[in-house]
Amino acid sequence: MTRQKLDAQRIVVKVGTSTLIHSNGKVNLQAIDQLCYTLTGLVNEGKQVVLVSSGAIGVGMGQLGLHARPEAIPAQQALAAIGQSGLMAVYQQRFALYGQRISQILLTHDVLEYPTSRKNALNTFERLLEWGVIPIVNENDTVAVDEMDHYTKFGDNDQLSAIVASIVDADLLIMLSDIDGFFDKNPRKYPDAKLFERITQIDEEILEAAGGKGSKFGTGGMTTKLKAAQKMLENDKMMVLANGADPAIIFDLMKGEARGTLFAKEEK
């Protein structure tokens, strides 16, 4: 089954912790290798790609042999500090196999809220994309608590990916998660759950169908993904939510194969 070919030149790909980390806490090297191969392929086609990557705390947990995400903010920040360097080391190695240059951009919400720092960040993105370099973006968890389990929680990397897509004026946000797309109810509980192939607007019925948190290593749930989709729709852009078990699914999505859920306004 096919749908419209995704005509996108500038693409933000958000990959969740569930794609990068096995349930036992070990790094999923096969998934990361496939992701690096696929994104390099997009760049070789002339696309401009930004990767928003979760996984720092998950990698840190794996390195310390922890099986439960700690609730204390300092512990989460320390795990992020451990895991971020390890995660980037894996990305550096795997992307280098395919001759792709990468960079790291760590952001906090205040950086994107203030005009001067926002402009500086945008200038960095623009130059990197002009050079064919893939920026790998994450929230600076060691100094920010917006994403973590804290009462000042503002968002997570689902939200960050939509914000990044907005400031770089991306045509498409591809969100890879541990689910095949957006369903009318939880497919893990209800075998008769139906996948939405296309959603043109986020209404109350759609919001009510969402709920629950993600894996023990991540923070995102379906509601945060819908909020990201809403932001993309408001900017007249597209988002796809698809299963990231095999990141090469991105090639199928770009060709217009009906995989996952496409969030896009009706074709004119």
Domain boundaries, the chain: 10-263
- The answer to whether 166 is annotated as binding is no
- The answer to whether 239 is annotated as binding is no
pLDDT exceeds 80 at position 268: no
Per-residue pLDDT band for 261 (boundaries 50, 70, 90) equals very high
- The answer to whether 140 is annotated as binding is no
User: pLDDT tens across 104-125, in order?
Assistant: 999 888 888 889 999 999 999 9
pLDDT exceeds 60 at position 188: yes
Position 239 scores a pLDDT of 96
- The answer to whether 142 is annotated as binding is no
- The answer to whether 215 is annotated as binding is no
Hey, what are 233's tokens? 């729709």
Percentage of the residues of the chain whose pLDDT score is greater than 90: 54
- The answer to whether 225 is annotated as binding is yes
Q: Is 60 left (phi over 0), alpha (psi -120 to 50) or beta?
A: alpha
pTM for this prediction: 0.89
Compute the C-alpha angle 186/59/34, nearest 5°: 70
The span from the CA of 177 to the CA of 204, in Å, is 23
**Multiple choice CATH, 10-263, 1.10.10.60, 3.40.1160.10, 3.40.50.2000, 1.10.3720.10:** 3.40.1160.10
- The answer to whether 224 is annotated as binding is yes
- The answer to whether 23 is annotated as binding is no
Per-residue pLDDT band for 136 (boundaries 50, 70, 90) equals very high
- The answer to whether 157 is annotated as binding is yes
**H or E stretch at 111:** helix 109-113
